[in-house]
Chains A and B, each alone.
Chain A
């Protein structure tokens, strides 16, 4: 037996070693974002042009109590208590929300998009039941947060945050009530304090505006959103940053602005975006334009095309006549020499897809269960603005410019898709390594979204323009590598997206920010 107990000893030692070296560490390294003092407080932002509000003082905010009043003194002393002796959980909440209000709410919205981005399953009758806003948690859950839906949800979120912050900045500099810790230096603060006046609280404005929009967009998440907002507001007191009246005024303003923005959203045509009765006429029209093999769903049972009338939804930065004017030209028709060339390229990739092509296809796939391409670009925008240490209002401007460009890209791209109604390569026998979206091929949504976002980001962060353009190009070509788009879909989508982005830039240049 002796030799075997030696073996056991060695085996145990080996196993321990193997576990330690090979498999033990389960921690994930996610980039951590923390608060900063902004490069500029943008004190003139109260004059910037709003999207939905007629002006930054359209919503009334009452004058705050004087810092010398007894009520304010009582608020200060309450704040001092709240900001002392923080638990570990409270400290973590302070750090989390301290990274930025618009930054965090954009991140939360992307997470909701990912959670709800799953196409409904077919039922026993071979039909796809429609998600029901009145019963959002039933199967299928409402909404199906596909790319057009996500582009719209994130656009309204960003616009509401921006308009609410422009309004907040107006009142901040109208009333000029200092941060609590500047009035009473004995208040402990856990985050950087800038020269920005504290009333109304920019965090409360963003939280309230965001929650109002997100509750409408994701009605099954009301308790989750309420809990997040409660923690966000509380974290401002744990951090010693806002007295209660700062938060209350901010919440009212955020709610009121977002209600106006949702008023616009309810009338933007989204309600008719899934009008399937229009499809037959769309196919006939496409045929008259020379499309001999219109798109057919490749799913079993046949799934109705995704949001065929999303192209009719109201755009942000250009009108409908312009949308028609900038619509991409008709693509190569099936059977033409040019079409055959694109098809041959795909066949070659199908036979010999390289690992690098697969990597690019996977990296940009942003398919079911993800926050979609608009989410991908919102993330890029939020991170760039965070790294540039933008003020809250400039962060919101960044996201609104990118967000409106993304929604415009979605609308204009969907318009082109259903105008031409062209077939996917899978209609001719190709497979895919990323999953096949259920709508016509031309133009590529990824290409349009990516070029629009990269164009706007290149204007906002000129020193990174080349990087964003390269990323957009890679996102575009990823759809060829994944075998679900012809090259012409991608190249024309990129050009279209760039033009769409330029309209957002024109808006940004004229918004009075001087940025």
Chain B
């Protein structure tokens, strides 16, 4: 009952699970005055999930599916300073049971990305991100909710080495994300075995780590990646209960990413698979996108 989280992580944390080029998780920069707009469709589904540590299926959910379309412009302010924005529209459904699917615009995200050190193929990059909900979607009807309603602020350090001749690269990053408390429609709820008599819910902060290996050429890119996303604390889903925004959600994911962009127009694709987790679904996801690059007159 909780896969939503794959989605939540992907959009709340902006690019956690979406490893596109000119993304918050690579060392690629749009040159000054160039904008690349990616429009991506993502399909993520799970049949089994981790209820606390218990891996199970749920016949009253069947397969849970989250889909989204996200528009994501990356803007070259300078050759070493980019701004990346994103806004996803998300919808959820299940193949069994009677939980009503939810849909809507989720959270508007923005990253500032700076290449701080650039030395013989090695670069060190700093990123600062924020995200803000743009609609009043319900955050605690999990796993059907499309997001958690948190406002977030993230700091990320990303290191990359690209072999200048072959284009072979290695990237590693680490992120810490602060998440705001949220308000829910009810004025009492249970978390940590305690009833809180308020509509305010504490959502745990989160961190992630990622590593990628690939080849980057002028017109194409291919990469394999692994990521670990985790809350820093939180409670667990109780036996046979629904998930809740206070849950300590964790996932380890592996996947592949590729891009082909001969000219202004390009395409990208990504697949991801959760190998291990806590309080969330074991999802398989794929993304396909169209990239369009254009110059902006100064």
Contact = CB atoms under 8 A, between A and B. Distances in A.
Interface of A: 1, 3-5, 7-8, 11-12, 14-15, 18-19, 22-26, 28-31, 107, 110-111, 114-115, 118-122, 139-141, 298-301, 350, 353, 355, 358-359, 362-363, 365-366, 368-371, 376, 379, 426, 430-436, 483
B59 A301 contact: yes
A121 B138 contact: no
A428 to B, nearest CB: 11
B130 interface: yes
Given A5-B116, A15-B128, A362-B141, A29 B198 contact: yes
A5 B80 CA distance: 12
B190 interface: yes
Contacts of A433: 99-100, 138, 141
A30 B180 contact: no
Interface of B is mostly: loop
Contacts of A426: 98
B153 interface: yes
A110 B130 CA distance: 38
B181 A22 contact: no
Nearest to A362: B185
B83 to A, nearest CB: 12
A62 B42 CA distance: 75
A8 B126 contact: yes
A122 B151 CA distance: 38
B115 interface: yes
B185 A139 contact: no
Contacts of A18: 128, 130, 153, 178
Q: Please list the 5 inter-chain residue pairs (A to B) with the smallest Cβ-Cβ separation, ordered nearest first.
A: A18-B153, A362-B185, A23-B178, A431-B100, A300-B59
A452 B78 CA distance: 68
A31 B141 CA distance: 25
Contacts of A8: 114, 116, 126
Contacts of A121: 239-240
B136 interface: yes
Given A23-B151, A119-B240, A362-B138, A110 B112 contact: no
B190 A22 contact: no
Contact of A15 (B78, B153, B197): B153
10 contacts: A4-B80, A14-B112, A22-B130, A22-B178, A24-B180, A118-B238, A363-B185, A369-B190, A369-B241, A433-B141
Contact of A141 (B98, B202, B239): B239
B218 interface: no
A298 B98 contact: yes
A371 B188 contact: yes
B196 A30 contact: yes
A23 B152 contact: yes
B254 to A, nearest CB: 29
Contacts of B155: 15
B150 interface: yes
B293 to A, nearest CB: 23
